[in-house]
Amino acid sequence: MVENILLGKTVEVAIQKAFEFGGKGIRFLWKRHDDRIQRNYAAEVNRTFCARIILVALCALFVGMVVLISKESS
């Protein structure tokens, strides 16, 4: 009788520990996935920011050339 109670308690504790360990593993994997998403988003923001800077610089260069050409022609 006592052995069955101890065995049942041992199995219950083992199952509880397995669930705790599994939960920690899932949280760890989810955190890694979330960190990867945040890094990818930050890289995407950096790429779009650089693209905007390049676009503004090209527009300024184009406007400057148009102004320079119009001044020379008049």
Q: Where do the structural domains in the chain lie, given as residue ranges?
A: 1-74
Residue, of 17 and 58, whose pLDDT is higher:
58
Q: State the amino acid at position 16 in one-letter form.
A: Q
Q: How confident is the model at residue 1 (pLDDT cuts 50, 70, 90)?
A: very low
pLDDT in tens, 5-53: 555 666 677 767 766 666 666 666 667 767 777 777 777 877 888 888 8
Q: What share of the chain is helix, strand, coil (3-state, %, to 5)?
A: 95, 0, 5
Tell if the pTM clears 0.75, that is, is over it: no
Distance of CA 8 to the CA centre of its chain: 44
52: tokens are 């905007």
